[in-house]
């Protein structure tokens, strides 16, 4: 729990001022940082001949292009690996996962230095053409600004999490030029509740990001599409079907992504060398398929143009992009999964469209709506944020008809991937680290509290040598009805009561039992306290009284409820 939440809260007016100032400052900082981030990546892409627009201008020197294609991602990866190894205390790239964990469990982010190194390596990874996304690092960067508020030690409950969410919302609002999506993303993925106390500042931060992106820098919408509307009613059925199919591909992508890290780790012992080799793989592939390099803005656009790709080409490109993204992220390049997901999704949409019109001969309203629908369906399965994805389509394309069509694809994709895989890649990664959000936020938070923390040292223990009369006397004196019988090695052998003598314990907790499990298992339990033993050798650690568990549970649930319903 954060320090602030234990202190006496400041007066409402002060809290309002602090929250508003936080939203404005963090929002502005995150927004400028996001613009700087995008600009730096774009400059690197031009200078290092990753962007097609730069590559084509050196076309008269083919050897230079080949050399750049092979060396830039490889050397980029090598530098990224070395930076993580020698400059970052965390020794790994940081991303949305760390933000979610820190906001949910009221912890601070990993150290600032690791955060800065991770941001630099993300710029380098993206700048040198690795197949990773830019939004993950930007989310982290936004949260990094938010986490600075922690230092102020202001007496506002939940301020840390709100400030980080403000940073996230502003970064997304700026990067996508999509303030509503930024706002919803921060709630749907990071905060996971909609308390007014959080909603208001996050909205302000998001709007700040929008003002900076639009009014100060005049950035255009990222993905303007002309689309007059869906021509045939049955196409909505096609969108739903496409959503289902896209979900299967997204599940494959996520499974590969999760498997790649351990696989590469077992293959290459030295962690600093892994990104370099993944970079080489990207370079070699890019010699034949330049579309896989970098973020792929051009490829994303081509996917919305009829006949830009052949079916075979699409299939190869989809597989290559999925594999290389899994490889790059598994190897430790710093970057997210969202942009690659957008690209792969749009290519799948184009493939689906070409099969529907070509092979099945069905009349459609053009490839663009399919590419965009599938793009968002894929991305939403990966980040587990259907609402955000629907709004991103709306704000990116500024086209209502496409949004409605994409919405259908998005929900069907989410339905399948949630059922077969999990709510999102982040949630699965968290649950592998023991933080399971699949049964809701409260359950995950309660599951993070070990009963070990509630141990009472007042519980009475007895060894085989102790005479029952002595034990009875101690029990009466302490006001307990049960004592815990231990063998000479300190292992629990049973529960002693005056009436029944030593009987086997009906319920024991292990040292890793958490509050949520404990409440479940205590159903029907009768007794003073539950003994806690080590999982490996059954050694007795102490006991937790039923009353302590129940009051801890009540306290935590109340705190969660307070957070989720706070107005100010």
Partner 1 sequence: MLRYSLSAILIALSSAAPAQDLTVATWGGAYEAAQQVSVFDPFAADTGQAVNAVQYDGTVAALRAWAGPGEWDVIDMLADQARVACAEGLLLPLDAQTLLGRAALEDFLPHAPGRCSMPQNVYARVLAYDERAFPGVKPTRIEDFFDTARFPGKRAVQRSPDGILEWALLSEGVPPEQVYGLLSTGRGLRLAFRRLDEIRDDILWWSDPAKPAKMLADRRAVMAAGFNGRFFDVAARGEAPVDIVWDGRIIGTEVWAIPATTEKPEAARDFLAFAMRPTSMARFSERIPYGPTRQSAFAQIGLNPTTGVPMRVHLPNAPQHGGRALLRDSAWNANTRDLRQRRFEAWLEQDEEAPGQ
What residues line the site for partner 1 (CB under 8 A)? Answer: 51-60, 220, 224-226, 290-291, 297-298, 301-302, 304-305, 307-309, 368
What is the smallest separation between the CB atom of 56 and partner 1, expressed in angstroms?
4
What is the smallest separation between the CB atom of 403 and partner 1, expressed in angstroms?
17
What is the smallest separation between the CB atom of 320 and partner 1, expressed in angstroms?
15
Asked whether 212 and 179 are in contact (CB, 8 A), the reply is no
**Separation CA 403–CA 391 (nearest Å):** 8
What is the smallest separation between the CB atom of 53 and partner 1, expressed in angstroms?
4
> Which of these, 232, 231, 238, 228, lies nearest to 360 by C-alpha position?
238
What is the smallest separation between the CB atom of 417 and partner 1, expressed in angstroms?
30
What is the smallest separation between the CB atom of 299 and partner 1, expressed in angstroms?
8
Q: Which is nearer to partner 1, 231 or 473 (CB)?
A: 231
**Separation CA 492–CA 218 (nearest Å):** 70
Tell me the backbone φ, ψ of residue 145, rounded to 5 degrees: -65, -40
At a CB cut-off of 8 Å and minimum separation 6, what does 140 contact?
94, 95, 96, 98, 99, 115, 118, 119
CA dihedral of 365, 366, 368, 369, whole degrees rounded to 10 = 20
Q: If you search the block for the tokens 């080489």, which residue do you land on?
A: 280
Two structure tokens written together for 267: 């293959």
Asked whether 35 and 25 are in contact (CB, 8 A), the reply is no
At a CB cut-off of 8 Å and minimum separation 6, what does 434 contact?
none
Q: Which is nearer to partner 1, 300 or 455 (CB)?
A: 300
> Which of these, 76, 72, 40, 39, lies nearest to 55 by C-alpha position?
72
Q: Which is nearer to partner 1, 238 or 293 (CB)?
A: 293
Q: Which is nearer to partner 1, 58 or 86 (CB)?
A: 58
Q: Which is nearer to partner 1, 285 or 514 (CB)?
A: 285
Tell me the backbone φ, ψ of residue 450, rounded to 5 degrees: -75, 140
Taking the CA atoms of 467, 473, 475 and 478 in sequence, report the sign of the dihedral they define: negative
**Separation CA 283–CA 69 (nearest Å):** 5
What is the smallest separation between the CB atom of 305 and partner 1, expressed in angstroms?
5
What is the smallest separation between the CB atom of 76 and partner 1, expressed in angstroms?
21
Q: Which is nearer to partner 1, 161 or 294 (CB)?
A: 294
What is the smallest separation between the CB atom of 82 and partner 1, expressed in angstroms?
32
Neighbours of 4 (CB within 10 A): 20
**Separation CA 135–CA 144 (nearest Å):** 14
Q: Which is nearer to partner 1, 138 or 303 (CB)?
A: 303
What is the smallest separation between the CB atom of 60 and partner 1, expressed in angstroms?
6
Q: Which is nearer to partner 1, 215 or 526 (CB)?
A: 215
Q: Which is nearer to partner 1, 55 or 84 (CB)?
A: 55
Q: Which is nearer to partner 1, 218 or 477 (CB)?
A: 218
Asked whether 527 and 495 are in contact (CB, 8 A), the reply is yes
Taking the CA atoms of 382, 384, 385 and 390 in sequence, report the sign of the dihedral they define: positive
């Amino acid at each position: 729990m954060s320090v602030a939440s234990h202190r006496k809260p400041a007066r409402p007016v002060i809290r309002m001022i602090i929250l508003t100032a936080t939203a404005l400052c963090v929002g502005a900082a995150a927004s400028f940082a996001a613009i700087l981030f995008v600009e730096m990546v774009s400059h690197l892409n031009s200078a290092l001949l990753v962007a097609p627009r730069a590559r084509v201008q050196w076309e008269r020197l083919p050897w230079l292009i080949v050399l750049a294609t092979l060396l830039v991602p490889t050397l980029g990866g090598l530098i990224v690996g070395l930076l993580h190894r020698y400059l970052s205390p965390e020794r790994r790239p940081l991303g949305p996962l760390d933000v979610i964990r820190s906001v949910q469990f009221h912890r601070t982010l990993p150290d600032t230095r690791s955060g800065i190194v991770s941001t630099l390596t993300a710029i380098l990874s993206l700048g040198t053409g690795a197949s990773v996304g830019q939004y993950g690092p930007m989310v982290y960067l936004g949260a990094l600004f938010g986490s600075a508020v922690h230092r102020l030690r202001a007496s506002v409950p939940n301020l840390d999490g709100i400030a980080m969410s403000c940073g996230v919302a502003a970064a997304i609002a700026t990067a996508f030029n999509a303030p509503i999506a930024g706002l919803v993303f921060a709630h749907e993925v990071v905060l996971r509740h909609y308390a007014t106390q959080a909603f208001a500042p996050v909205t302000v931060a998001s709007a700040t990001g929008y003002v900076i992106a639009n009014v100060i820098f005049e950035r255009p919408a990222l993905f303007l599409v002309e689309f007059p509307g869906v021509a045939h009613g049955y196409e909505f059925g096609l969108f739903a079907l496409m959503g289902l199919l896209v979900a299967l591909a997204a599940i494959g992508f996520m499974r590969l992504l999760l498997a790649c890290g351990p696989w590469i780790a077992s293959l290459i012992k030295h962690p600093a060398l892994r990104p370099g080799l993944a970079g080489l793989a990207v370079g070699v592939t890019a010699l034949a398929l330049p579309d896989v390099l970098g973020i792929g803005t051009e490829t994303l656009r081509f996917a919305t143009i009829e006949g830009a790709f052949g079916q075979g080409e699409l299939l190869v490109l989809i597989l290559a992009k999925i594999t290389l993204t899994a490889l790059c992220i598994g190897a430790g390049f710093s970057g997210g999964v969202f942009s690659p997901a957008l690209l792969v999704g749009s290519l799948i949409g184009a493939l689906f469209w070409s099969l529907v019109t070509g092979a099945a001969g069905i009349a459609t309203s053009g490839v663009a709506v399919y590419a965009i629908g599938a793009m968002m369906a894929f991305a939403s399965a990966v980040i587990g944020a259907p609402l955000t994805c629907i709004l991103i389509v709306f704000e990116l394309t500024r086209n209502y008809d496409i949004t409605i069509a994409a919405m259908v694809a998005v929900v069907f994709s989410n339905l399948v991937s949630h059922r077969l895989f999990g709510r999102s890649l982040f949630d699965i990664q968290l649950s592998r680290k023991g933080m399971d959000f699949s049964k809701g936020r409260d359950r995950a938070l309660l599951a993070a509290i070990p009963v070990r923390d509630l141990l009472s040292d007042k519980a009475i223990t007895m060894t085989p040598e102790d005479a029952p009369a002595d034990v009875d006397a101690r029990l009466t004196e302490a006001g307990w009805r049960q004592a815990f019988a231990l063998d000479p090695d300190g292992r629990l052998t049973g529960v002693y009561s005056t009436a029944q003598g030593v009987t086997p314990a009906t319920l024991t907790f292990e040292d890793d039992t958490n509050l949520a499990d404990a409440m479940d298992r205590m159903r029907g339990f009768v007794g003073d306290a539950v003994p806690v033993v080590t999982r490996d050798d059954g050694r007795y650690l102490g006991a937790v009284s039923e009353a302590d568990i129940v009051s801890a549970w009540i306290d935590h649930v109340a705190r969660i409820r307070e957070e989720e319903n706070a107005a100010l």
